[in-house]
Amino acid sequence: MISSLMRILAIETSCDETAVALLEINGALEKPDIKILGNSLLSQIQLHEKYGGVYPNLAKREHEKNLPILLEQTLEEAGEDKESPNIDCIAVTAGPGLEPALWVGITVAETLGKKWNKPVIPVNHMAGHMFSVLYGTYEALVMPALALLVSGGHTELVYVKDFGDYEIIGKTRDDAVGEAFDKTARMLGLPYPGGPQISRLAQLSRERKEEDEIKLPRPMIHSKDLDFSFSGLKTAVLYKIKSENRSDSDSEFKEDMARAFEDAAIEVLVEKTRRALEKLDNIKTLIVAGGVAANLHLSQEIKKIVNEFPDISLRMPTKLLTTDNAIMIGIAAFIKIGIGSEILKNQIAIKARGNLSISPVQGL
Ligand code: KG4
Ligand code: ZN
């Protein structure tokens, strides 16, 4: 499938990152030529850090304050006229995410769409993560694919039969894996977001000794389905912290605990992914994307299983596109236009949908 050259202004405000990008994309859906003409991102991490998580209304206020500034910056970087830029459409995240935060991006996108008389394309944030792997490579993304999407709000295995044809074949029944990283970090007195912190400490433990004596359960690893559960793992961490009765300032204990958690969480993700690859039997590409894809231990372990499947190639996003950003939203919009998504044919007012899930029915 080929789509013609498109200049897309993309906006992302689903969680704690305000982001805007201007892209020029051209060519085949499986191998598009993506040029980033402008890109601005402002993280609210420092504001949310003291609460140990993201506060929706605080996130909304920050998006409202920062989005106009980032829009200006992006257009300026691209050398575009701020009053009437040369774009074909505006892409905006419509869900999933925090609804008050999503509304900020949607309202701005629709206002600009009217002002400039350009269509506004609602994009699923998880489709953004999935197609973030199209950037930075000249290799075609061969279908069918399996996508392991791991972020702060989601943990799911998606059978990607083709562009526009998705089926969720496994998902978490409670916490997302990123959320479990964040909560475990909080229990260990580490700042938000916890993923990079846990990962750093776990590495120190591995450098110090070969074996970690702390053993944690691998929830649902033997279940027949492809679902996950991470809330029990988090409780197990809490129980260990209490029962070991080690002081908060015991840095070696913290490192070992972080490692035990990371080992358990990643082992379950990797094992279920292997099971899905075996079950589907026809997969050509394994996509691993979302914020937790930044985890070094995950990428190392995933590479090991990919070696067991010689016909499967692994695609992970470049660092710039791993955690939330607007570039991936622009790419997902390009795919949506390319497959001629029904939802684009009649421009109706876009709604923020906090629980939007990845499916062709819901319009990607
Ligand atoms: O995709 P993302 O930026 O936002 C959501 O859509 O949720 O993912 C954020 C999540 C957070 O939970 C964060 O702790 C986690 O990704 N994360 C990591 C790492 N870097 C970010 N988790 C594990 N290891 C990392 N290196
Ligand atoms: Zn995300």
Quote the DSSP letter at residue 142: P
- Average pLDDT for 263-285: 97
| Full DSSP string of 194-236 | HHHHHHHHHHHHHHH-S--------TTTT-SSS-B--HHHHHH
| pLDDT on residue 48 | 77
Domain range annotation of the chain = 2-132+321-344, 143-317
Residues having C-beta closer than 5 Å to ion ligand 2 = 151, 324
Judge whether residue 185 has pLDDT over 50: yes
243 alpha carbon to ligand 1 midpoint, in Å?
A: 28
Residue nearest to atom 3 of ligand 1 (CA): 323
> CA 146, CA 312: separation in Å to the nearest integer?
10
Quick check: 303 pLDDT over 50? yes
Ligand 1 atom with minimal separation from the 16 CA: 4
CB of 184 closer than 6 angstroms to any ligand 1 atom: no
Any bridge partners for residue 38, and if so which?
Answer: 22
Residue of 304, 303, 329, 307 lying closest to 316 (CA atoms): 303
DSSP state of 40: E
- Counting from 1 in the atom list of ligand 1, the atom nearest the Cα of 297 is 24
Helix (H) or strand (E) holding 159: strand 155-162
Could you name the CATH architecture of 143-317?
2-Layer Sandwich (3.30)
Which residues have C-beta within 8 Å of that of residue 340, sequence separation ≥ 6?
none
Compute the C-alpha angle 72/75/81, nearest 5°: 100
Q: How far is the CA of 207 from the centre of ligand 2 (A)?
A: 30
Distance CA 364, CA 362 (A): 6
Q: How far apart are CA 296 and CA 281, in angstroms?
A: 27
Per-residue pLDDT at 340: 82
Return the best residue to mutate from 181, 203, 329 for the ligand 1 pocket (most ligand atoms within 8 A of CB).
181
Q: What is the distance in A from the centroid of ligand 2 to the CA of 148?
A: 13
Sign of the dihedral defined by the CA atoms of residues 184, 194, 132, 66, in that order: positive
Question: Read out DSSP for 278-292?
Answer: HHH----EEEEESGG
pLDDT, position 326: 98
The mean per-residue pLDDT over the stretch 70-84 comes to 97
Q: Is 363 in the pocket of ligand 1 (CB under 6 A)?
A: no
d(CA 311, CA 245): 49
pLDDT at 341: 67
What is the mean pLDDT of the segment spanning 92-96? 97
**Amino acid at residue number 182:** D
- Go through 228-241 and write b for each residue having 16 or more CB atoms within 10 A of its CB, e for each that does not: bbbeebbebbeebb
pLDDT at 219: 96
The torsion of the CA quartet 118, 124, 130, 131, rounded to 10 degrees, works out to -10
| Banded pLDDT at 138 (limits 50, 70, 90) | confident
Q: Tell me, what's the pLDDT at 200?
A: 98
CATH of domain 2-132+321-344: 3.30.420.40
Task: Indicate if the pLDDT at residue 362 is higher than 60.
Answer: no
Q: Which residue's C-alpha comes closest to atom 16 of ligand 1?
A: 291
Question: Do 147 and 158 touch, CB atoms closer than 8 A?
Answer: yes
Same fold, 2-132+321-344 and 143-317: yes
pLDDT at 3: 65
Nearest to 79 by CA among 13, 19, 24, 136: 24
At 225 the pLDDT is 97
Q: CB count, 10 Å around CB of 40? A: 22
User: Residue 110: enclosing H or E segment and its boundaries?
Assistant: helix 99-116
In tens, the pLDDT along 13-69 reads 999 999 999 999 999 999 999 999 999 999 988 887 777 678 888 999 999 999 999
Find the 195 Cα to ligand 1 centroid distance in Å. Answer: 6
State the chain's mean pLDDT as an integer.
93
Does the pLDDT at position 1 exceed 80? no
**Ligand 2 centre distance from Cα of residue 249 (Å):** 32
